[in-house]
Amino acid sequence: MGRRKRSHSAAFKAKVAVEAIRGVMTPAEMASKFEIHPTQIARWRKQALEVIPDAFAGSRKRNEGEGESREEVLFAEIGRLKMEVDWLKKKSALLGD
């Protein structure tokens, strides 16, 4: 009979990934301890390492966005640039194209 696919909680996956990142045990030792294939452990480790930078960037982004949202800043810039274009068009018309 084939093996039944097991479902693991996010907390369990995080625990295994942290252990893999720490590198105290070999992949074979971890596989035996957690009863998971070494390939799966490597996959969870890779996933964890990919998302860790986002965890730290998120708090910085929230702090920067407390004043105005990025969208509000961009709309303000568009409005300022439109006014400048209109002013330049008027001035060029006065100079006699």
pLDDT tens-digit series, residues 31-70: 999 999 999 999 999 999 988 888 887 655 555 555 567 8
Torsion of CA 36, 40, 44, 47, to 10 degrees: -170
Angle between the N-to-C axes of helices 10-22 and 38-64, in degrees from 0 to 180, rounded to the nearest 10: 100
| Residue-range definition of the domain harbouring residue 59 | 9-66
- Whether residue 28 is contained in a domain is answered as yes
Q: Are residues 58 and 96 in the same domain?
A: no
Residues 50, 25 share a domain: yes
**4 lies in a domain?**
no
User: What is the Cα–Cα distance from 28 to 33, expressed in whole angstroms?
Assistant: 9
Q: Does 24 or 4 have the greater pLDDT score?
A: 24
pLDDT surpasses 80 at 74: yes
Q: What is the mean pLDDT of residues 12-28?
A: 91
Instruction: Please check whether residues 13 and 57 belong to one and the same domain.
Output: yes
- Domain shared by 84 and 62, yes or no: no
User: In the block, which residue shows the tokens 């568009």?
Assistant: 78
Q: Say if 24 falls within a structural domain.
A: yes
Give yes or no: residues 15 and 56 share one domain: yes
The structure tokens 């490597």 sit at 42
